[in-house]
């Protein structure tokens, strides 16, 4: 059944672990992603796209400190977030334009620079959890902690990454523009990297604040705002698993919000990776969304129909093809 789908693209859809992160590599990944997304449009769906920026915003931040060599002032983390929205939005926008042209789809694609309100008093500011940038060895991580006072953590058995504060998303300032563009028939790319974190000051002005919002939690908010039928979270694993990376690992296919919530409480999903995806999926269906799906990019088409990946509904109504 076609409907409005909010698609949350994981960092992997844009930059895969082990890749250097050149423009060409990222563009190639984005082209593969775009061909999947275009097929969702061909099936009659309306798409709102959001994306992660963890790998990119960390690299942009590192590039800033390299600039100091020539006396060029570095930009703060929240500006790096804005840069990452422009960079990734541009790549997705162009790749979709070219894919639509090939397939004879007549749709405008628009990227919106999006600001998301956060609470400066949130405890997340004193407990960094969001991994950004590339993966490093433990030795390199310890050195960065000592030399630069940064916080680094091990990320799901894949290596060490810098972590930064990740407060929960509040409202998206540009939401009325998102809605207007959807109603106009455009494919909208919004709230990239979870949105640029901004705080409302006493004067009522908003200003940027150093943090990286989780894109899955921001995607859920966006999905509620645009009254989406499906929240489709695309990442680098085909399923959410319980007892992940143990000999008892079991992939979840069709699961009710109640069951998934129990697994969440039991601590099966890591903070900073699968945890927020599960939290976003639960919130979406608990607040009335038809279905939330967490799966890999290659499963996007079947996933959008609840026929692949981990499919979360309020009640077990979806027939899931186990194993895909």
Ligand X SMILES: NC(=O)OP(=O)(O)O
* Residue 124 binding result from ligand ADP, ligand X, none, given CB thresholds of 5 to 8 Å by partner type: none
DSSP conformation class of 167: P
DSSP conformation class of 159: -
* Residue 240 binding result from ligand ADP, ligand X, none, given CB thresholds of 5 to 8 Å by partner type: ligand ADP
| Residue list 31-90, contact with ligand X (CB under 6 A) | 52-54
Q: How many CB atoms lie within 10 A of CB 20?
A: 10
Active-site residue flag, 215: yes
User: Can you tell me the distance from the alpha carbon of 113 to that of 173, in angstroms, rounded to the nearest whole number?
Assistant: 10
Q: Is 169 in the site for ligand X (CB under 6 A)?
A: no
Active-site residue flag, 12: yes
Active-site residue flag, 11: yes
User: Can you tell me the distance from the alpha carbon of 73 to that of 315, in angstroms, rounded to the nearest whole number?
Assistant: 54
Q: Is 105 exposed, middle or buried (0-12, 13-18, 19+ CB in 10 A)?
A: middle
Q: Is 232 in the site for ligand ADP (CB under 6 A)?
A: no
| Residue list 270-289, contact with ligand ADP (CB under 6 A) | 270, 273-274
User: Can you tell me the distance from the alpha carbon of 82 to that of 85, in angstroms, rounded to the nearest whole number?
Assistant: 5
**CA diameter of the chain:** 60
| Residue list 65-124, contact with ligand ADP (CB under 6 A) | none
User: Can you tell me the distance from the alpha carbon of 192 to that of 146, in angstroms, rounded to the nearest whole number?
Assistant: 31
Q: Of the residues 130, 221, 279, 283, which is catalytic?
A: 130
Q: State which of residues 193, 303, 306, 309 lies at the interface with ligand X (CB under 6 A).
A: 193
Least Å distance between CB 218 and ligand X? 8
Q: Is 215 in the site for ligand X (CB under 6 A)?
A: yes
Cβ(300)–Cβ(32) under 8 Å? no
User: Can you tell me the distance from the alpha carbon of 35 to that of 17, in angstroms, rounded to the nearest whole number?
Assistant: 21
* Residue 156 binding result from ligand X, ligand ADP, none, given CB thresholds of 5 to 8 Å by partner type: ligand ADP
User: Can you tell me the distance from the alpha carbon of 277 to that of 50, in angstroms, rounded to the nearest whole number?
Assistant: 13
* Residue 100 binding result from ligand X, ligand ADP, none, given CB thresholds of 5 to 8 Å by partner type: none
Least Å distance between CB 52 and ligand X? 2
Question: Annotated active-site positions, please?
Answer: 11-12, 130, 215, 277
Q: Which residues bind ligand ADP (CB under 6 A)?
A: 10-12, 52, 54, 156, 235-237, 240-241, 244, 268-270, 273-274
């Amino acid at each position: 059944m076609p409907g409005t789908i909010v698609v949350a693209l994981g960092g992997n859809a844009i930059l895969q672990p082990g890749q250097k992160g050149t423009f060409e590599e990222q563009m190639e990944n984005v082209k593969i992603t775009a061909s999947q997304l275009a097929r969702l449009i061909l099936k009659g769906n309306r798409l709102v796209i959001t994306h992660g920026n963890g790998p990119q915003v960390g690299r942009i931040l590192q590039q800033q400190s390299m600039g100091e060599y020539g006396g060029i002032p570095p930009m703060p983390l929240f500006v790096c977030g804005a840069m990452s929205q422009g960079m990734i939005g541009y790549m997705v926008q162009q790749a979709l334009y070219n894919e639509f042209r090939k397939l004879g789809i007549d749709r405008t694609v628009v990227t919106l620079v999006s600001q998301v309100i956060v609470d400066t008093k949130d405890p997340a500011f004193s407990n960094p959890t969001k991994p950004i940038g590339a993966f490093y060895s433990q030795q390199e991580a310890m050195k960065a902690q000592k030399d630069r006072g940064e916080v680094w953590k091990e990320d799901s058995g894949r290596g060490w990454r810098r972590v930064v504060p990740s407060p929960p998303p509040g409202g998206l300032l540009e939401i009325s523009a998102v809605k207007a563009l959807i109603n106009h028939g455009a494919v909208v790319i919004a709230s990239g990297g979870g949105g640029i974190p901004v705080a409302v000051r006493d004067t009522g002005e908003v200003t940027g604040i150093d943090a990286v919002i989780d894109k899955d939690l921001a995607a859920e908010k966006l999905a509620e705002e645009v009254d989406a039928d499906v929240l489709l979270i695309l990442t680098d694993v085909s399923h959410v698993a319980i007892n992940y990376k143990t000999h008892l690992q079991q992939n979840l296919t069709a699961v009710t919000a109640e069951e998934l919530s129990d697994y969440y409480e039991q601590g099966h999903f890591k903070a900073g990776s699968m945890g927020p995806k599960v939290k976003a999926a639960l919130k979406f269906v608990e607040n009335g969304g038809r279905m939330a799906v967490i799966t890999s990019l290659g499963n996007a088409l079947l996933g959008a129909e609840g026929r692949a990946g981990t499919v979360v509904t309020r009640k077990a109504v979806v027939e899931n093809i186990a194993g895909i």
